[in-house]
Amino acid sequence: MMWESFVLIGFLLSFTSAMLIIPWIDKRLVQMGYVAPDRYKINRPLIPKGGGLVTMIFVVFLLAMLPPIIYALDRFLDLNSDFLFVNQAALMIIMLYGIFGIVDDIIRVGHLPKAVLPFVFGFPIVIFVNPEVLNFLIFEVDLDTPFGAIFGVDVKLSFWFKLIVIPLYISVCANLINMHSGFNGLATGTTSIVMGALLLRGAFNGYIQETVAIIMLYGSLLAVFWYNKYPARTFEGNIGSLMNGAMIGVTVVATNSYTAGFIMLIPHSLDFLLFCYTRFGRGIYDKFGKLRTDGTIEAPDPYKMKFIFPYYFKLSEKQTVLVLYAVTGAFCAIGVFVPH
């Protein structure tokens, strides 16, 4: 159990150092004018967008420090160093989504490029995972089954699963988290709940070594959530939300939790379907609501998860986010105990 204690120490160090770094970074960002208005406050204060940058800093730091960390764990604490590559690949994918988030924050690439281009970011991890059977909901698929040929060479179904399904799954997770946002603490809070459930499930099923780096990174995510929750003192921006979604995706892949991940993200998937309906079905899309004089949210329509409850009930931003936490938490509780 010694190496598990080492990982716990890494998690606590990540959380503590992020808690100390965020105020300093946000102060610098305010001076540079890298801020955004908090739309659902009466005075619309300008909030620094430093949360995503903090996550990026920790990803880069872990990428650099992971080899000696894993080496020490392997040499002294009996950790299988083969898992170094899975953890490095996971961090690389998260970093790639963060870089794309920086580009999106600068030039606003739009929904279609954001949905299509990041597909290739999931490739680094496909080399290091070897699923033999896919259990999804009530279906069981033997991935060792021959399925087609490339240049005359027979390939198994696992080849296509790794080449298409895994990168697509990660990309979908990143975009779902990015879309289900807009209130203080909504994206970081729901991500924290989903990640906590996935890591707990992974621990139950013996997948701690595959998620060493992600557990440490989770500490910085909780620190960002602390400063992002209502009333927000920092925003995560597209950088943070895309990285958080990628973190969920790689955790699902590393812990073989495809059904659990699907269930945990049902509220996010419903949010996406509602968006598709209002954007392409109704042809009308209102991204923002309004703030009433009594502090409650005036939702333009009920076709986003964040607008459903304030549309039918007089709820403040904080109350709406708490309701959405409860919805996500309920699906995560189910996901923790599903077999796959």
Question: How wide is the angle at C-alpha 297 spanned by C-alphas 293 and 299, nearest 5°?
Answer: 125
Amino acid found at 130: N
The burial of 293, by beta-carbon neighbours within 10 Å (0-12 exposed, 13-18 middle, 19 or more buried), is given as exposed
Structure tokens at 285: 């899309």
Q: Is residue 23 within a helix (H) or strand (E), and if so which, with residue range?
A: helix 2-32
Question: How wide is the angle at C-alpha 119 spanned by C-alphas 115 and 125, nearest 5°?
Answer: 145
Per-residue pLDDT at 3 exceeds 70 = no
pTM: 0.92
* DSSP output for 282-323: SS------EE-TTSBEE-S-S-SHHHHHHHHS--BHHHHHHH
Q: Which has the minimum average pLDDT: 81-90, 199-208, 307-316, 320-329? A: 81-90
Contacts with 174 (C-beta within 8 Å, 6 or more apart), sequence order: 97, 118, 242, 243, 245, 246, 248, 249
pLDDT (tens digit, 9 = 90+) per residue, 253-282? 999 999 999 999 999 999 999 988 887 777
Most confident of 74-88, 145-159, 287-301: 287-301
**Are 18 and 220 within 8 A, CB to CB?**
yes
What is the DSSP code (8-state) at residue 257?
-
**Are 61 and 268 within 8 A, CB to CB?**
no
Cα separation, 26 vs 49, in Å, equals 7
Cα separation, 33 vs 46, in Å, equals 9
pLDDT (tens digit, 9 = 90+) per residue, 36-94? 999 999 889 999 998 899 999 999 998 888 878 767 666 666 666 667 788 899 999 99
